[in-house]
Amino acid sequence: MLLPCEIATKCILPPIRAMLAEKLTTKHQLKQAEVAKLLGVSQPAISLYSRKMRGKAICLENQDEIEKLVENLADLLAKKELSSSEFIVMFCEICKAIRAKGLLCELHKVLDPTFDVEKCELCLTVSKISCLREPVSGSE
């Protein structure tokens, strides 16, 4: 059984990185090597994103909320106004927004046919899930 976060790693993270790379190279005029360093990937990965050869598992275009979140993150990255932990939190917020819209469900069904997507409401209630919160006492 694949967990939603595994699907997100395979199918959501690359498109988000592709969107960020596009915004950073076009709007902010950064070079691919600079973008790669900001995103923690290689320059060839940025090249693949820009040529639409990577990061196309899910179409996030025309998703206004996602577009705004990505643009905000790109702006802050370009200004170098983010700590590593702030970057992670903002990236996770984008992923949670994508999941909350149900955009991950069809991919989950394709990648794990044994999973009953129709009965699952995990991603739709993703706002109740916080993988970044403090552990509940006694659960360590």
d(CA 87, CA 89): 6
Residues near 60 by Cβ (< 8 Å), separated by ≥ 6?
15, 16, 19, 66, 67, 70, 98, 103
From first to last of its 140 residues, what are the pLDDT tens digits of the chain?
Answer: 777 788 888 889 999 999 999 999 999 999 999 999 999 999 999 999 998 888 887 888 889 999 999 999 999 999 998 999 999 999 999 998 998 888 888 788 888 888 787 777 777 665 555 555 554 444 44
| pTM greater than the 0.75 cutoff | yes
**Secondary structure class of 128 (helix, strand, coil):** helix
Residues near 137 by Cβ (< 8 Å), separated by ≥ 6?
none
Instruction: Please state the separation of Cα 89 from the chain's center in Å.
Output: 11
Q: CA nearest 60: which of 90, 5, 103, 25?
A: 103
